[in-house]
Amino acid sequence: MTNALCVVARVEAGEQPLVALRSVDPSIKQDIRYAGADNFTGRRVAGYEAAECWLRPQAARALAKVQADLLRDGSGLSLKVFDCYRPKRAVSAFMTWAEAAEDGGTRSYHPNVARSQLVPRGYIASVSTHSKGIAVDLTLVRSQAAKKGNSEQQAMAVQAEIGKPLSCTQTSDRAADAASLDMGTAFDCFDPKSHTASAGLTAEQRQARQTLKRAMERHGFANYAKEWWHFTFGAADDGRVFDVPVVAVE
């Protein structure tokens, strides 16, 4: 933990290699999926000892600019991050999972693509810009969302009762968070429907994806065409890759 805290710091403490996003912009919502079991592996991922978003300082500041634009444009939208810096050991854990035999436990994350095809088809990779602290997985949420449940949440509850989760292509992150915009699939849905320009989306879903993409591109982030949620801030890439675990930073 000591080594990790030497690498990450609050932004006001100086330009450390990685900074906690909360110290740059605490208004950005965080739902770090790999720090728990709510992800395609079905368990907490190695290297995630805390549910915190870390980024290179330049990337964190750029993301804060995206958030500032959203908060002042009158749209009522805000950012929510699912993953930021990803320790190299976590990338290795993903590869180990991808190379293991199909067990069906989390097939809802890749209903139409066999686990053995996730690496060849570009959904899981042996190296990741996340490990450089320059990539972020995120979505848009409404800053003032109704607290009541929605049809997706009700459908999830019914599926939970019968023990069969909805496919990631049949739902969105609104099922777990009513504030989330409907992006057409859930986060980490390894499927052609997650491709940013996928066909078969509703007008609302296409607009939501394009709103996110335009907002991110305006401040130097580039989208990965196979994942509507994945953006990289290439200007902060100095070649370094990190493997320190993500821990809570006071």
CB 42 within 8 A of CB 106: yes
Catalytic pick among 12, 102, 152, 227 = 227
- What is the separation of C-alpha 121 from the centre of its chain, rounded to a whole number of angstroms? 19
Ramachandran area for residue 163 (φ above 0: left; ψ -120 to 50: alpha; else beta):
left
Which residues are CB-contacts of 101 (< 8 A; sequence separation ≥ 6)?
none
Complete DSSP assignment for 222-238 = EEETTEEEEEE-GGG--
CB 119 within 8 A of CB 176: no
Where does residue 133 rank: exposed (0-12), middle (13-18), buried (19+ CB within 10 A)? buried
227 has catalytic annotation: yes
Q: Which helix (H) or strand (E) holds 215?
A: helix 203-217
CB 35 within 8 A of CB 246: yes
Positions marked catalytic: 227
